Structure 1
């Protein structure tokens, strides 16, 4: 194989749809106001006590100009149209046009933890209640992980490599990492990288509830009368994550192409660290997480003291948050008290395979504006007294490097260092 080009890789644009808003602009406007966006589920009916979720507001793909009745009927896995629209918006945000030159050099990799589970549910309902011949012949494409990227390519006219990095809740960071390596080496010039999740269906809600991963909101819980308080990373009374739908897509670009096309640089993908736990399928492994963080910092060719802010995985689970704090203490030592730690899941919930990409976009925007987004709903935990979680409200802060952590089921870890411009 030929030698890599060793090009620098930058984020040139992004898009996101979250419970805070169906575009990045709406999400950002609500995020800087310190809002959280959770409610009792409306997408489906469930008897689960884990019925507080994050739903994308005002999201109706049938209103998109490229979705007709036939398309809507065939492609009934919601993550497909959500991916298509976020890729379109990311290109628009970056100002990159797909041409005979750029299209073949543009790749797309959108990760997802659960893929087209909603489409499979429809097929099973038809199979049981209407018979085997009522199962859609489009079921298999709907559940293929690469299909959303493929449909985005058909809509937007790019023909570079497409696939779906499957890293569970770290999928978005894996997509960014792999895409950056591909651009660095010269396999492509642009990559639409991120994650998508449309997971609000009864079986998924109940499954997470049964494994004691999501919060159960009882009468005495502070979120009972105010569901927006359900997600509270690093808080004394954290009880589990809030399951959310969402999508985030970053447009990555080679430095030379950004300059020749006059695009803007939002941040540089400076370092990547990725490991696996080889320990347990849900319980995090401190040793390998610490190594992933160290590797990301080493890859960025900086020192731990150069990190100006940390975007935590911060799911709001008792064990997960505690382990992440232990890992940060081991990497940064006593200096950890001086490094602000933000947990975006306090505002947008946990959108599984989409979460890391959404958090990357929010982190980069915050760094570019010299501010820190808050960790809302916070009640101090004495065990984390040395951790500055930026409670309650947005804060001014200038910094050059941000560490973004992401960990997933199966014991997969991916940490990325972004450098400001």
Structure 2
């Protein structure tokens, strides 16, 4: 194999759809205003008290100009059209035109934790209640992890590598990391990297509830009257995460491509740290997470003291939040109280494989504007008295480097350092 080109990699645009808005612009506006998107579910009927979720507002794929009646009937997995639209938005935001020159040099890596689970559910219902011949012949393509990226390529015209990094809730960061390595080495000039999740189906909601991962809202909980208060990372009364649908994609580009096409670099992918726990399938492991954070900082060739803000994984689970804080203390020591730590999941909920890419886009935009986004719904926990979580409203805070953490089931960790421009 030829030697790598060792090129610098920049983020030049992004797209997103979250519980705060069906575009990145609307998501950003709501995040900056300190709003949260959690609400009681309308996508389906559930009997569990884990019925507060994050739904993308005003999301109707049938209204997209490229979704005709036939397309809508064939593609029952919601992550297909969501990926296509978020990729379309990301390219437009970047100002990158896909043509005969750029198309073959553009890849697409879209991760997902659950893939086409919703399509499989439809197929099983048809099989049981209508007979085996009513199972869609498109079921298998609907389940393929790479299909959304492939469909995005068919829509937008790029022909570089397309596949799906599968890192559970760290999938989005894995996509950014792998895409950055591909551009650095010269395999691509551009990569659409991120994650998409359409997880709001009864069995998935109930499964998370049964494993005590998501919040159960009873009449004594503050989210009973106001569901937007359900996700509350690092708060003393945190009780589990808010399961959310969503998608996020960042457009990565090689340094010389940014210059030659006159694109705007929003941030540099400065450092990547990734590993696995070999510990437990759901409980995080402090030792290996600390190694991943140190790895990202070392790869960026900076010191922990150079990190100006932290975008935490911050799921709002008692164990997860506590472990992450312990890890941050181990890495940053006495400097930690001076570093703002934001959890975007307090506002958009936890969109599993999409979460890291959404959070990367929000962290980069915040860094570019010289602010840090808030951790909303915050009631201080004395155990975290040394932690500045940017409670409840955004704050001016110029910084050059942001650390974005992401961890997933199976013990998969991926941390990325972005440098502002």
State TM-score, norm by structure 1: 1.00
Partner of 1:198: 198
Tell me the equivalent position of 1:402. Answer: 402
Q: Could you say which residue in structure 2 is the equivalent of 1:180?
A: 180
In structure 1, the residue matched to 2:94 is 94
Rounded to whole Å, the distance in 1 between the matches of 2:134 and 2:48 is 29
User: C-alpha offsets along residues 193-244 of structure 1, whole Å, 9 cap, x if unaligned?
Assistant: 0000000000000000000000000010000000000000000000000000
The aligned runs of 1:344-355 (5 Å cut-off) are: 344-355=344-355
Scaled by the length of structure 2, the TM-score of the pair is 1.00
Q: How many Å separate the matches in 2 of 1:96 and 1:365?
A: 18
Unaligned runs of 5+ in 2: none
Partner of 1:104: 104
How far off its partner does 1:152 sit? 0.2
Residue 75 of structure 1 deviates from its aligned partner by: 0.4
Distance 1:100 1:31 in 2: 37
Q: How does 1:92-171 map to 2 (within 5 A)?
A: 92-171=92-171
Match of 2:36 in 1: 36
The alpha carbon displacement at 1:395 in A equals 0.4
Cα shift at 1:154: 0.3
Give the number of equivalent residue pairs: 421
Partner of 1:243: 243
Structure 1: gaps spanning 5 or more residues: none
Q: Which residue does the alignment assign to 1:75?
A: 75
* SS across alignment from 1:62: helix
User: What residue number does 1:298 align with?
Assistant: 298
- Residue 2 of structure 1 deviates from its aligned partner by 0.7
Per-residue CA deviations over 1:382-412 (Å, capped at 9, x if unaligned) read 0000000000101000100000000000000
Structure-2 residue corresponding to 1:369: 369
How far apart are residue 93 of structure 1 and its match?
Answer: 0.4
Deviation at 1:296, TM superposition (A): 0.1
- Shift of residue 157 of structure 1? 0.6
Return the alpha-carbon distance in structure 1 between the equivalents of residues 294 and 19 of structure 2.
32
Structure 2 equivalent of residue 415 of structure 1: 415
In 1, distance between residues paired with 2:398 and 2:162? 36
Provide the rounded CA distance (Å) in 2 between the counterparts of 1:90 and 1:378. Answer: 31
Secondary structure in 2 matching 1:268: strand
1:13 maps to 2:42: no
1:261 lines up with 2:261 in the alignment: yes
Q: Secondary structure at the match of 2:10?
A: strand
1:362 CA drift (Å) = 0.3
SS in 2 for 1:83: helix
Name the SS of the counterpart of 2:273 in structure 1: strand
Quote the offset at 1:416 in angstroms: 0.1
CA distance in 1, matches of 2:193, 2:390: 28
Q: Aligned partners of 2:37, 2:395: CA distance in 1, in Å?
A: 20
SS in 1 for 2:98: coil
Deviation at 1:107, TM superposition (A): 0.2
